[in-house]
Amino acid sequence: MSILGTRVLRTEDPRLLTAGGTYVDDLRVPELAGAARVTFVRSPLAHARITGSDAAPLPLGGPWLEPLPAVVDLGEAMAGRTLLFPDAGSNAVSHLGVRHIDMPTTPARVWAAISQARESQ
């Protein structure tokens, strides 16, 4: 019977249904041992001109941060920090004085938390 015009069971489905797919975050291979993770905090502004950035003097390193090769500061992605564990988004901004970010975490809330922490310093 031709597969054309006929409902055909997909061969990939049993694995997707019983063991799940293999997405990037599912990879458990030796090559990725100690691999860094990155969290992007996106700008709450859809379209804006960047007139200055104080990202450069951010202290790098620490128990949860690895040195950052470059801070992406163009377009939507405003600040990238490499992270060592998945829930490190708040850790990544803790050195800016941020101790708490309202849930659910949105770009606007992250930026608000950073601004608030700076004002109180």
Partner 1 sequence: VKVTVTVNGGEVAAEVADRTLLVHFLRDEAGLTATNIGCDTSSCGACTVLLDGESVKSCTVLAAQADGCEVTTVEGLASDPGDMHPMQRAFRAEHALQCGFCTPGMIMAAISLLAENPSPTEEEVRSGLEGNLCRCTGYHNIVRAVLAAGEG
Residues lying near partner 1 in the complex (CB under 8 A): 7, 9-10, 12-14, 16-23, 25-26, 28, 86-87, 103-105
Identity of the residue, 47 or 85, whose beta carbon is nearer to partner 1 in the bound complex: 85
| Least distance in angstroms from the C-beta of 18 to partner 1 | 6
Closer to partner 1 by Cβ: residue 7 or 47: 7
Closer residue to partner 1 (CB): 10 or 49: 10
The Cα–Cα gap between 94 and 88 comes to 10
Q: How far is the CB of 87 from partner 1 (least distance, A)?
A: 7
Nearer to partner 1, 14 or 61 (CB): 14
Question: What is the full DSSP assignment across the chain?
Answer: --STTS----TTHHHHHHT----GGG---GGGTT--EEEEEE-S-SS--------TTPPP-SSSBPPPS----SSSEEEEEEESSTTTHHHHTGGGT----PSSP-HHHHHHHHHHHHHT-
Q: How near is the Cβ of 96 to partner 1 at its closest, in Å?
A: 20
**Smallest distance from partner 1 to CB 12, Å:** 8
Identify the bridge partners of residue 39 per DSSP, sorted by sequence position: 81
